[in-house]
Amino acid sequence: MSNPIFRLILLMMFFLVPHVSFAAADIEADTPTITNLKQSMQQRHSQLEAFYTSGAVGFTQDGLIAMHDANAVPLAARQLVNSLIAAENQDRIALYREIARANNHPEWEGEIRSTFSQRWIKLAKSGWWYQESNGSWAQK
């Protein structure tokens, strides 16, 4: 009697174990904080997009944005661009931290940040500027 039960349980283990590890490999990215950050960044993007296109602002290796070519911005608009960059970076850092926190792994923040850094650049439109791993700027 114990032998068939043993076999059945052993069989169940083989099915259950991979399933559990697979389910745990998801990333939670849907909390109210993340939704708010996405909205705030989406609104800001309508202003920032022109500066990405003109080459004034580019994407850094650490998942943030930075001034790439200040000369591409009229003097009168520089203050605005600087405050847009500061606000965007604040949101981005908060986003990476919140995703790590929402997944109960605050120590993942750095890895999430570097994942985002690659994806921002990968999805960036042609003509936008980004920083390569050696720190030099390149254009998509």
> Rule CB under 8 A: which residues touch other proteins?
1-2, 5-6, 9, 12-13, 16-17, 20-21, 24-27, 29, 34, 38, 41-42, 45, 95, 99, 105, 108, 111-112, 115-116, 118-120, 122-123, 126, 140
Are 51 and 83 in contact by the 8 Å Cβ rule? The answer is no
Q: Name the minimum Å distance from CB 6 to other proteins.
A: 7
Cβ distance to other proteins smaller for residue 75 or 122: 122
* Residue 139 Cα distances to 57, 112, 119, angstroms: 11, 24, 15
Q: Which amino acid is at 57?
A: V
Cβ distance to other proteins smaller for residue 82 or 114: 114
Q: Name the minimum Å distance from CB 131 to other proteins.
A: 17
Q: Name the minimum Å distance from CB 100 to other proteins.
A: 10
Q: Name the minimum Å distance from CB 119 to other proteins.
A: 4
Residue 63, sorted as left (phi over 0), alpha (psi -120 to 50) or beta, turns out to be left
Cβ distance to other proteins smaller for residue 70 or 86: 86
